[in-house]
A and B are shown apart, each in its own frame.
Chain A
Amino acid sequence: MSSTVVPAATETPRLGEGGPTPRALRRRSVRHFTATDALVLAGSLGASASLVWVVFYQLTFLAGAAGYVVCTLAVFLAIYYVANRHLFGRMAAADRVVAALATMAAAGVVTALALVVAWLVAHGYHLVSVTFLTRDQKGVLNTQPASAGGISHAIVGSLEEVGLATLIGAPAGVVTAVFLSEVGGRITGLVRTVVTAMSGLPPIVAGLFIYVVLITELHYGFRGFAGSLALAIMILPNVTRTTEEVLSVVHESLREASMALGAPAWRTVWSVVIPTARTGIVTALLLGIARVVGEAAPLIVTIFGSPAMNANPFSGPQEALPLFVFDYRSSSVAADIERAFSAGLVLVALVAVLFLLARIFSAMKPGTVGRLLRPSRHRRQEALS
């Protein structure tokens, strides 16, 4: 790199330059979970499990796995605290007990979700097949086995209804958030209150509102689009609240930098604030959508439901996945209940995909989304540089 020649023998390997062997740079682990720690943990768990077993089943004749687990965990915390305090002192013990509590809470949440999904998979997986996903329920009698017919009409209906709801609700939500966070003024407080109230609106009320206004007053009739409007009412406040949160994280100094360069307010919002918050906004949208994909209540009174495929959301009753689950689960026929479980599984998978996308977007660096959306221009830039 430099022109001065240094005799190689006197040169000591410098940090960060690789040194003679790459292995000389071994990364050190800075988290220490020693054998003692592991022993204390395992010992406390074993001790509490055995102690509670003795008390629970031998001395008191209590029963029930759930009670046993809860008591074991409580006793574990106590033993864990005492053991750690004895070995490492009061501060370290408190620290570890709090960490153990937090871990247990997290594990509890994950277990609850895993159980729901596992239960659904166990009941629903055997029906999910290509035929199930590509056929509708037209002409299928409930005396036929569950393998007859499918849910394609519900999938298509859900995608169309939610898609249209997003087209209406999402832009309105983002623009409202921009108003709250960037424009402001005297009515900000009022708008924010209304949005908050809207996000607390029971889904069935959103459905009934559309029902009363569109279907009974304007004689618009049941159709997918009516459901979309009800869902849009639910998407809007969620998107607004999350997006406003995301916009408020954009540092004030960036707005000032933009203004100091002579940008008018709309330019600042469009070219600086939104691009900076873009990944967050995309996440807000996906979460807002995922939130309503599973709503059945607003659809009951707006799309009505239909066993046959209806790909036109603007005419005639339509089906939707959550509505299908709701209807078929309330049936007294075993085959219908089976269908409901499988449709539920498909619905959960759909929501999972949306959440996964949200996670991927939120982990992205700012600007990545824009580049993904404009791949051709990006490639041209790459070629130039």
Chain B
Amino acid sequence: MRRESGAAPAALEEPAPVPAPAPLRTVTTASGLVADGVSAWFSGRLVIESVSLEMEASKVTALIGPSGCGKSTFLRILNRMHEVTPGAELAGRVLLDGEDIYGPEMRPTETRRRIAMVFQKPNPFPAMTVEDNVLSGLKFSGKRPRGKEKDDLVEEMLTRAGLFSEVKARLKTLGGELSGGQQQRLCIARALAVRPSVLLMDEPCSALDPSSTRRIEETMREIAEEVTVVVVTHNMQQAQRVSDYCALFLAGENAPGRIVEKGSTKDIFENPKDERTSDYVHGRFG
């Protein structure tokens, strides 16, 4: 089931050229994430079955597949957000640096701090200012940067999310007053501010214009150095541009979602082993 790590990187094609990233303070180190035989139920209905996937540290893994096949569900299992939904159950293990995040000694809050998430729909805190939104994750864990340290952090995170130039004069306005695309980038800045070792992104660009999309894609490449990125996308070009590895999810008529094929992005797009993969990535169904 598990792919050999090291096979793909050699053949890996460099993604679209990225402007030299500003030197970033490396505080975290990326962690590898492994899903091992993960299944999920909603109110007794099996929606994903025995999904195993290794998300290598410091790489970008893209999850692709048609609507409703369980990508978001899988992503939420990776940072213990699945259990928040009433009636949701799961099976299997998720290993973060070899440790099962569902183990009895693991606290969900700690896990979620290390595995940050950007949701499909933008959800900034409407009662907080733009700045407070960025700092919210730190505040929740009891840290309150002050003065210049705070300003620098806010600027760095907003710049990475490609939002700083647009909002630098509006840091004190409420998060809910930004446009939908700006809100999504604010959510990305907010997730990055806690300096997670894994970042899960659920269709982060579905509400964004091409230039913001490009900025987010650049950010994904930049932060991959220190953060493992898992991104769900419906955009095949985007998957090709940003990801090192790809996994295709499919669900049958009444069957739960499974991974049909996984491998290096290059293989999935240029040399798929499964016919369904080649159909999907060439837009012949789904």
Contact = CB atoms under 8 A, between A and B. Distances in A.
Interface in B109-129: 109-113, 116-117, 119, 121, 123-129
B140 A258 contact: yes
A15 interface: no
Contacts of B119: 253, 256-257, 260
A31 interface: no
Nearest to B139: A271
B127 A278 contact: yes
B48 interface: no
A212 to B, nearest CB: 43
A221 interface: no
Contact of A267 (B81, B140, B171, B187): B140
B191 interface: yes
Given A254-B123, A264-B109, A385-B172, A259 B128 contact: no
A276 interface: yes
Given A260-B79, A262-B141, A262-B194, A272 B125 contact: yes
A257 B123 contact: yes
Nearest to B81: A260
B172 A262 contact: no
Dominant SS at the B interface?
Answer: mixed
Interface residues of B, number: 32
Interface in A264-294: 264, 267, 271-272, 275-276, 278
A255 to B, nearest CB: 8
Interface in B46-84: 79, 81, 84
Given A267-B140, A272-B125, A261 B112 contact: yes
Nearest to B169: A385
Interface string A353-383: 0000000000001110010000000000110
Contacts, number: 82
A261 B171 contact: no
Contact of B123 (A253, A264, A275, A278): A253
B36 to A, nearest CB: 22
A253 B79 CA distance: 15
A251 interface: yes
Contact of A262 (B126, B129, B137, B174): B137
B174 to A, nearest CB: 6
A243 to B, nearest CB: 16
B243 interface: no
A94 interface: no
Contact of B128 (A253, A264, A275, A365): A275
Interface string B167-193: 000011010100000000001001100
Nearest to A253: B123
B136 A271 contact: yes
A191 interface: no
17 contacts: A253-B121, A253-B123, A257-B124, A257-B190, A258-B125, A259-B81, A261-B191, A262-B109, A262-B137, A263-B137, A271-B140, A276-B125, A276-B126, A276-B127, A366-B126, A366-B174, A367-B128
Shortest beta-carbon contacts, A-B, top 7: A262-B113, A263-B140, A261-B137, A366-B127, A275-B127, A253-B123, A257-B123
